[in-house]
Structures are given as C-alpha cells and as structure tokens.
Amino acid sequence: MRYFVPMQMKRRAVVLGGALASGLGAFPALAQAVGRPVVVASANGLAATETAIARLKAGADTLDAVVAGVNLVEDDPEDMTVGYGGLPNEEGEVELDASVMHGPTSRAGAVASLKQIKNPSKVAKLVMERTDHVLLVGEGALRFAVAHGFAKQDLLTEKARTVWLRWKETMSDKDDWGPGLADPGEAAQAAMADWIIADRLTGTINCLAVDGRGDISGVTTTSGLAFKIPGRVGDSPLIGCGLFVDNAVGAAGSTGRGEECIKINGAHTIVEGMRRGLSPTDACLEALKRVAAHYSGDRRKLAQFNLHFYALAKSGAHGAASLWGTYGSKPKRSRYAVSDGDGSRLLDSAYLFEVPGR
Ligand code: GLY
C-alpha cells in the first residue's frame, strides 16, 4: 500500500537516518531524552501546546502541563467537539469522555459519559490520583466529580442546540420534527448547521508531552460522536485506544472515528510500534493500515470516516498520520500541533489516502 509522508517528516527521517547509520539500530525510541520539552496535539490544540510548553519550561509535571493545555479547549464554546459547547447526544445532552496517563508513575484515570461537568480531563486526573480505579462512567463519574467540588452546569450552548435541532428536524421525513426554517433569516444558521451535521464531528483533543528529563504524559478529551446514542463511549476514555503512554518509549493518542480506533487498540498499537523501532510517523501509519485492512482497503467504505493518530517518542521525535490527507464537506488538510524549542506551529500529518473519491 502506498502512503504519503510530508516533506518536513522526510527531513526529520534524514536526521534519524543519521542515528541509524551511527549504529543505534532502528528508530531510537528508547534513546535518552533530548533535554528539551516537546508537546504535540491534534490540530485544534495549538493554544493547548503553547500553554503546556510554557508550564513545562516553568518546571511543571508533564501531566499537569497537558491537562492545563486541554482545559483551554474544554472551556472554549467555539470548539464543538470538546467540553463546554460540544455537540450533544441524540437527546440533546452533552456527554463527555476523557482519559489521562502519567508516564513516570505508570498511572491512568478516565471518565466516560460524564454530563454537566465541563472539564472531564480534570475529573479523569482525580480518578487517577484519588482512587484505585481507572475508569468511572455516567452517574458514578458525576457523583465523584461533585464530591470533589466540581460545579454542575448546562454544557449545551445555543450554537450546539441549534445544530442539534437542525439534525433532528432534517434526519427523517417520517417523524413529526419539522424541516424548521419558519423564518428565511434562519437560512444562514441552517447552512452552518448542515455542514457540521454532514461531517458528523468526532473532533476531540489529544495532547502529549515529554519534558527535558524524558518523562511523558498524555490526555485525550472529547464530547464524542455528535448525536450519538446516549451511553455511547468512544476511544478517548479507553486506555490503549484514544491514549497510551509508556515512559520508556513514548506516547500516542487519537482523534476521529473512535470505533475504528478501538478495534485496533490504536494508541497502544502505535507505542508498541515505536518500541519495535518504528518512527512515530511510521507507527501511526502502520496502525492506520490495520484499520484499512478491516475494510480490505475499500476506499468507498473507508471514506465514511477519518481517523488521526499522534505520536511522541521519549527522544522528543514526533509524528502524526491520518487515514485521509484531506477530508470533510469543507475539506481540511489533516494537521497536528507542535510546541518545542523551535516555537509553536501546525504541521502536515502523513496520510494513507489523499482525498475520498481519489
Ligand atoms: N475520537 C472521539 C470519539 O470517537 O468519541
């Protein structure tokens, strides 16, 4: 199978090729830390990586740094895939999933189907810190959060409610929900809603960090699949799927269609790939090939979803890959966010297939 690696990663491969030539063997995932912090995130996480790298430079623990970073996105009503303002389930309720992993202590925590609490990543971190469990769900997760002082609030913004209503009103002509649009002034809103609905958002933010000592942590947080059946849990809160960290090797995470990630244990598969000597980018691509193999490489079936993987090695080397290089009803190039000693930027992800239909 052919696949595509952006130029910036090819240049990096040349640098790593030098390590190969000097006798380190395969990709040096188990090499010593490079001595400077690196943070990577999904493309909606540039501000998160900037916050996290600033915290790391000030001496923060890697998990505190990445959770502080994603809290910005959880709090942002404009990001309709995470936290406050996330798109709701089919009944109009926002249900959030999140997980954290702390490499230096090999601990993990997660919450799933959490309602009314806008920062599930903080609750996941408390599950890790203050219980001997790893995953709390639904009502139990909510009670645990409230017991720790989290305030309940309505997470459904007006914008998300508008999109949800439009989805209800247009998905079937065999029920009593309208087509809406009583007022022509609603047309612009409806158009906005229609392209969001067409993409069936599974946005999510994943953020991974390594500090100057080589300690690694990660977090993934999401409102999950838009208009999901209540109780649906995606990959984000499942350790080994939407997130995995091994302090000896590196970390990986995912965004996009969670069910496809779950079926290959995506993040764990990628970290194990790096342990075997694959570069972060190649480990992500290898995992995506497993997803493609589930559909015998049939691009018409694979065009129903996109899936993005992100990987960060202990050495600070990083990479990302997506099933589709460009995707969506308003096509967007698959990218990821990086903050390191060279500043903060969005980089093109590698990908298996270019554009659905080609
Ligand atoms: N990757 C987020 C989800 O599918 O829920």
89-100 confidence digits (pLDDT tens): 999 999 999 999
Strands (E), the chain: 38-42, 96-102, 107-114, 135-137, 205-210, 216-222, 243-246, 250-256, 307-313, 318-324, 326-327, 332-333, 335-340, 343-348, 350-353
Predicted confidence band of residue 194 (pLDDT cuts 50, 70, 90): confident
Q: Is the CB of residue 356 below 6 angstroms from any atom belonging to ligand 1?
A: no
Sorting pLDDT into bands at 50, 70 and 90, what band is 351?
very high
- Segment (H or E) for 315: none
Which atom, in ligand 1's list, is nearest to the CA of 204? 2
Mutational test site, ligand 1, from 70, 205, 225, max ligand atoms within 8 Å of CB: 225
Same domain flag for 166 and 97: no
The answer, yes or no, to whether any atom of ligand 1 lies below 6 A from the CB of 224, is yes
Both 124 and 230 in one domain: the answer is yes
Q: Residue 351's CB: how many other CB atoms inside 10 A?
A: 26
- Weakest-pLDDT range from 14-23, 55-64, 192-201, 272-281: 14-23
The answer to whether residue 233 sits within a structural domain is yes
- pLDDT tens digits for range 35-69: 799 999 999 999 999 999 999 999 999 999 999 99
Ligand 1 neighbourhood includes 202 CB (under 6 angstroms): yes
Residues 149, 292 share a domain:
yes
Query: Does ligand 1 have an atom closer than 6 angstroms to the CB of 225?
Result: yes
| pLDDT for res 16 | 34
Please tell me whether residues 42 and 80 are part of one structural domain: yes
CB atoms within 10 A of CB 13: 18
Identify whether residues 207 and 292 lie together within a single domain: yes
**C-alpha triplet 244, 245, 249: angle, nearest 5°:** 125
82-86, 198-202, 314-318, 350-354 — which is least confidently predicted?
198-202
Tell me the residue type at 42: S
Q: Residue 206 belongs to what domain range? A: 7-156+201-353
The answer on pLDDT for 202 being more than 70 is no
Residue 22 has pLDDT above 50, yes or no: no
Inform me whether the pLDDT recorded for 72 exceeds 80. Answer: yes
**What pLDDT was estimated at residue 14?**
33
Residue 221 sits in the same domain as residue 315? yes
**How large is the average pLDDT for residues 177-206?**
70
Q: Please, what is the average pLDDT of the chain?
A: 89
Instruction: With a cut of 70, say whether residue 3 has pLDDT above it.
Output: no
Asked whether residue 15 carries a pLDDT value surpassing 60, the answer given is no
Judged against a pLDDT cut of 70, whether residue 124 lies above it is answered with yes
The number of residues making up the chain comes to 358
Give nearest CA residue, ligand 1 atom 5.
224
Predicted confidence at residue 139, as pLDDT, reads 98
Domain count of the fold of the chain: 2
The pLDDT value recorded for residue 328 is: 78
**Residue at 268 is within a domain:** yes
The catalytic residue among 49, 81, 202, 204 is 204
Question: 100: CA distance to ligand 1 center in Å?
Answer: 15
What is the CATH number for 146?
A: 3.60.20.30
End-of-domain residue from the set 140, 168, 196: 196
137 and 42 part of one domain: yes
Clarify whether residues 253 and 181 are in a common domain: no
pLDDT at 343 over 80: yes
**Residue whose CB lies within 8 A of the most ligand 1 atoms, among 96, 202, 219, for a mutation test:** 202
Does pLDDT of 148 surpass 80?
Answer: yes
- Select, from the ranges 29-38, 72-81, 260-269, the one with the highest average predicted confidence (pLDDT): 260-269
Biggest distance spanned by C-alpha atoms of the chain: 70
Task: Tell me whether residue 162 is one of the annotated catalytic residues.
Answer: no
Q: Is the CB of 258 under 6 A from ligand 1?
A: yes
DSSP string covering 249-310: TEEEEEEE-HHHHHHTTHHHHHHHHHHTT--HHHHHHHHHHHHHHHTTT-HHHHTT--EEEE
For residue 251, report the distance from its CA to the centre of ligand 1, in Å.
18
255 lines ligand 1 (CB under 6 A): yes
